[in-house]
Amino acid sequence: MPQAVQDKIAQWSRLSDVEIEPFNKDMGLFSGDQVELVSQDVIELAKSQLRADRASSSAEMEQQVKDLAAGAPGKLGESMTDQVELDRKDESEKFWTMPYVQPLDSSLDVVEDSRMSYAWDAKVEPVAGGTGVTVTLFTRTAHWVNIDDGARTLIGISSWIALSTVDPEYAATSGDYAWQVYAHASNADICVAVKGKPFVPLPADETDKESLDFFTSFGKNEFVAIEKFKTPQEEIEKDIAKCE
């Protein structure tokens, strides 16, 4: 494991100690208090996502997705539940559970020193035919995993949760949001993930140092857009083709 990666992650907060603070910043037509209302619902989704940190099977992971969607407030829960069912039936979506939950395999010996960083972003943009605000939480979670002979390796999970509305007060009471979730895994075994199974790290001798360097290349409190982490579909297909 590159020392630079270890040093950067050591600066992040312990996962067990992290308290995600609401985001309060004036954004054009929207006051900081209105932005904070939206951020509080984002935080609740993030908490549900982070609780789904282990799974022993594909079935358990799928249930975690359903629970996350069902637990979202009001109309948001209805919308997410409908989309989950569509994603589940879409055979072209090889990693359909991943944007919602990113559990590690329960059999892994995960170190208690796992770390996390987070950052917020908000922007005023068109939403549902009007002018709305989108509030996005970006998290990076570094899971240290013990392997043979006292060594350890790393799985990095990057996640984005965004909620959008033209009326924060109404959305906060009704759950009537537009939404987006996305996630990216660093140094995870794609040949396991493509089977719909919980994440495991790549073998130690195949550590994806490039992906881990990128995962840790941003500041602790720096927001990074989804687009910077997205892997071209053709590259994903090439990696899948290498699996036995």
Supply the pLDDT for residue 92. Answer: 82
Quick check: 156 and 186 in contact, CB under 8 A? yes
In a domain, 74, yes or no: yes
**Number of structural domains found in the chain:** 1
What is the domain range of residue 115? 3-238
How do residues 154-171 score in pLDDT, each as one tens digit? 999 999 999 999 999 999
Is 112 a residue whose pLDDT tops 80?
A: yes
In a domain, 243, yes or no: no
In a domain, 172, yes or no: yes
pLDDT, average across residues 52-58? 97
pLDDT, average across residues 174-185? 98
In a domain, 63, yes or no: yes
Supply the pLDDT for residue 69. Answer: 98
In a domain, 244, yes or no: no
Instruction: Identify the band that residue 244 occupies on the pLDDT scale cut at 50, 70 and 90.
Output: confident
Supply the pLDDT for residue 148. Answer: 78
Question: What is the CA 67 to chain-centroid distance, rounded?
Answer: 16
In a domain, 56, yes or no: yes
Rounded CA gap, 116 and 143, in Å? 9
Q: Are strands 130-146 and 152-165 parallel, antiparallel or unpaired?
A: antiparallel
Is 149 a residue whose pLDDT tops 90?
A: no
Place of tokens 């090439």: 238
Supply the pLDDT for residue 217. Answer: 97
Is 106 a residue whose pLDDT tops 80?
A: yes
> Alpha helix (H) ranges present in the chain?
3-10, 32-51, 58-71, 74-89, 168-174, 190-193, 209-215, 233-241
How do residues 20-49 score in pLDDT, each as one tens digit? 999 999 999 999 999 999 999 999 999 999
Mean pLDDT score of the chain, rounded to an integer?
A: 95
Amino acid sitting at position 6: Q
For residue 41, count other CB atoms closer than 10 A to its CB.
23
Cβ neighbours of residue 97 under 8 Å, at least 6 residues apart? 61, 62, 64, 65, 196
Q: What share of the chain in percent tops pLDDT 70?
A: 100
In a domain, 160, yes or no: yes
Supply the pLDDT for residue 167. Answer: 98
Rounded CA gap, 48 and 44, in Å? 6
Is 93 a residue whose pLDDT tops 90?
A: no
Q: Which of 108-122, 129-143, 230-244 has the lowest mean pLDDT?
A: 230-244
Residue 199: closest CA among 230, 236, 154 = 154
In a domain, 174, yes or no: yes
- How far apart, in Å, are the Cα atoms of 236 and each of 51, 81, 124, 231, 242? 28, 27, 33, 7, 10
pLDDT, average across residues 66-75? 97
DSSP string, 108-146: SEE-TT-EEEEEEEEEEEEETTEEEEEEEEEEEEEEEEE
Supply the pLDDT for residue 1. Answer: 81
- Note the pTM of the prediction, 2 decimals: 0.96
